[in-house]
Structure 1
Amino acid sequence: MAAPRGSRSKAASAAAPIATEERPLDKARRASLSLTGHQASLAAFRNAFTTGRLHHAWLLTGPEGIGKAALAFRMARILLNGEDEASSAGRQVTAGSHPDLLAIGRSYDEKKQRFRGEIVADEIRPIGAFLHRTAAEGGWRVVLVDNVDAMNRNAANALLKVLEEPPNRAILLLTCATPGRLLPTIRSRCRTLTVPPLDEASVRAVLMREASDAEPSEIERVLPLAQGSPGRAIALLADKGGALAGVAQEALAGMSVARMLDLAEGISRSDVGFPLFFTLLANALASATRQAGRLEESAALAERWTNVGRIRSETERFNLDKQEAVIEALSVAGGR
């Protein structure tokens, strides 16, 4: 069903996220030079490196938006002697041109103007050839795969073949927000490095650097909502004044079909607005579940929370229509 024409509501307009030209992997390369927080995780990796107990595959797990990819690039810099930004290796890592570093993430669909929902096998297969060639600088060969939980089954099987027969002086750095989506055989072949959320001071420091044009009052507004995730905080800044958070609360009370159609158009426009909406909606449902006075009401809200999570997961994993997913989630949240 097509959304009605005409002017959209303020909430729908505010829900439309701010576009950025910088790709996530390129942003992570740059952020790895001035990594904020994650010192304990970095120290664990550095200790394994210096003591000669370096596992051939590392699985960095933690919530979305906390800087796992930036941490992985910093780990790559350690291996490739590129921590000094002014060094030849440092400049190459930043520019994405280091011959011994292969970085893979969800690719961008130019036609649809959005990142694809999954990583496919054709994007994983080149890893084998890359790791079996001689390192150009005579040292380590490093593969970084961001969001490995976005791999489809064929891609996962292709990665598993690499993990089963790792070559010497080759390291895989994998980031993941939902390790439960991975094949158990992949998880078992990696050393898991749990990356915790940042403290509030570190999130504030990232925002001061990455969102320097944001109003101080807006930064203070989103900090307690960010849950230790700078990425989440930056997305919340795009929701000026908390309009999208208000939509999440409104959805729980139920809304008309016309209202849902109007909101869905703005929310579904990009990779930022969509996950932010679902996160805020899930949080609103979780909060309502905890505050419910009767067991039956609590159970019903918990079921809505589960269904909203399923809608998001299936939409992102199978690249389904985001506008339809938003409409369905608004309907589910309101108890329809």
Structure 2
Amino acid sequence: MSGSLPEPRLSARLYGHQAAVRQFEESLSSGRLHHAWLISGPSGVGKATLAFHLARRLLGGSDLESPAGRRISAGTHGDLLTIARKMDPRKGQLKGEITVSDVQPIQSFLHHTATEGGWRVVIVDGLESLNRFAANALLKILEEPPPKTALFLTTSSPGTLLPTLRSRCRPLVLSGLDEADMSALLPTLPEGVLHRADGSPGRALFLAQDRDCLCAGLVERALAGEELDHENWVIVSQIAREPDGFGLLCDLLGETLAKRAREAAFAGNLHLAAGLAERVSQLGRIRMQGERFNLDKAEAIREALALAHQGRQD
């Protein structure tokens, strides 16, 4: 199951999200473009790709072969600053959070004259990863932005953000891509994987990593109430060693629990639905803590699987 997506910075075409583009274009053509845009939507749906698409629009780099387009692709455009989680060189993986030192360069960037005489654009990818100090620093920037400034902020969890931060942004809420766009983007992936991805190309690639169905099988056995024997715990250790194994297992488990919650609510069993929904929320917290603080993944997987047994008892 091979497949890949271009990096958001290098994407030549935007698939889907035309309603969000029209909303932005209307604001731009009015001459009163809002200074901060909160791009939210499911993980892997293309939020960063949209952010770079809009940045290219402002900076005159929509044509990737133009001088501005090439500078954006190379990350050398003087009027574009990108903030995201950085790589931890000691651990060889992304850091768990965006810190205040990561956000501080925005201040000096925005208070220098635009190198090409036009807009200055900042992209903050993964706003939910800001720690408290970084969030407050960004909030101060949003309160008094200089003229001809545009900030594109992406998040998969808008509900976790500071209300004051959300209130200073104009929302662009993204939904999943349709089947045609998904197939065009990822033609080598099986239809079953694309269907389960709910219109998220990133999620489709994520699900396709479970080549031997180790995560899916483990989730199925846990939800069936089977006692996890030594062989299953060996699988847990194997999944924990995979770069995205923990996240994939949490994703599959959350997907199944959420589906059961919807079915229970539709059947009128609100007590069961509420209990399952709470398990989904707990799972989200386990995943966030495990990924942000680099906790022991095998132990975090055990904790996640324990929710499956609790969910059966609701």
**Cα shift readout 1:251-285 (whole Å, capped 9, x = no counterpart):** 21243263453233232335533222111101112
- Whether the 8 Å contact between 1:308 and 1:333 is mirrored in structure 2 is no
Instruction: Kindly indicate whether residue 67 of structure 2 is the aligned counterpart of residue 92 of structure 1.
Output: no
CA distance, structure 2, for counterparts of residue 295 and residue 103 of structure 1: 44
**Cα shift readout 1:188-222 (whole Å, capped 9, x = no counterpart):** 111111111111211111113xxxxx4xxx42120
- Residue type of the alignment partner of 1:187: R
Question: What is the aligned partner in structure 1 of residue 89 from structure 2?
Answer: 110
Q: Which of residues 297, 302, 309 is equivalent to 1:327?
A: 302
- Whether the 8 Å contact between 2:286 and 2:300 is mirrored in structure 1 is yes
Question: What is the aligned partner in structure 2 of residue 263 from structure 1?
Answer: 235
Change (3 A) 1:164 1:302: closer
Question: What is the aligned partner in structure 1 of residue 197 from structure 2?
Answer: 226
CA distance, structure 1, for counterparts of residue 179 and residue 231 of structure 2: 36
- Residue type of the alignment partner of 1:60: I
Question: What is the aligned partner in structure 2 of residue 207 from structure 1?
Answer: 186
CA distance, structure 1, for counterparts of residue 272 and residue 160 of structure 2: 30
SS at match of 1:145: strand
Q: Which has the higher contact order (CA 8 A, sep 6+)?
A: 1
Identity of aligned residues (%): 48
- Whether the 8 Å contact between 1:118 and 1:316 is mirrored in structure 2 is no
Question: What is the aligned partner in structure 1 of residue 109 from structure 2?
Answer: 130
For the aligned residue pairs, the C-alpha RMSD in angstroms reads 2.4
- Residue type of the alignment partner of 2:247: P
- Residue type of the alignment partner of 2:260: A
Question: What is the aligned partner in structure 2 of residue 309 from structure 1?
Answer: 284
CA distance, structure 1, for counterparts of residue 240 and residue 48 of structure 2: 25
SS at match of 2:241: coil
Offset of residue 241 of structure 1? 5.6
Offset of residue 246 of structure 1? 2.4
Q: Which of residues 22, 27, 37 is equivalent to 1:58?
A: 37
Q: Which of residues 46, 61, 84 is equivalent to 1:67?
A: 46
CA distance, structure 1, for counterparts of residue 178 and residue 204 of structure 2: 12
CA distance, structure 1, for counterparts of residue 171 and residue 270 of structure 2: 38
- Residue type of the alignment partner of 1:272: D
- Whether the 8 Å contact between 1:59 and 1:176 is mirrored in structure 2 is yes
- Whether the 8 Å contact between 1:255 and 1:334 is mirrored in structure 2 is no
Scaled by the length of structure 1, the TM-score of the pair is 0.84
Question: What is the aligned partner in structure 2 of residue 276 from structure 1?
Answer: 248
Q: Which of residues 130, 151, 174 is equivalent to 2:153?
A: 174
Question: What is the aligned partner in structure 2 of residue 8 from structure 1?
Answer: none
CA distance, structure 2, for counterparts of residue 164 and residue 271 of structure 1: 38
Segments of structure 2 that go 5 or more residues without pairing to the other structure are: none
Offset of residue 297 of structure 1? 5.5
42-51 or 190-199, which moves further after superposition? Answer: 42-51
- Whether the 8 Å contact between 1:82 and 1:90 is mirrored in structure 2 is yes
Change (3 A) 1:301 1:57: closer
Instruction: Kindly indicate whether residue 162 of structure 2 is the aligned counterpart of residue 183 of structure 1.
Output: yes
- Whether the 8 Å contact between 1:121 and 1:152 is mirrored in structure 2 is yes
**Cα shift readout 1:77-96 (whole Å, capped 9, x = no counterpart):** 00100001111000000111
**Cα shift readout 1:22-44 (whole Å, capped 9, x = no counterpart):** xx9x811112x211111221122
Count of paired positions = 306
Segments of structure 1 that go 5 or more residues without pairing to the other structure are: 1-13, 209-213
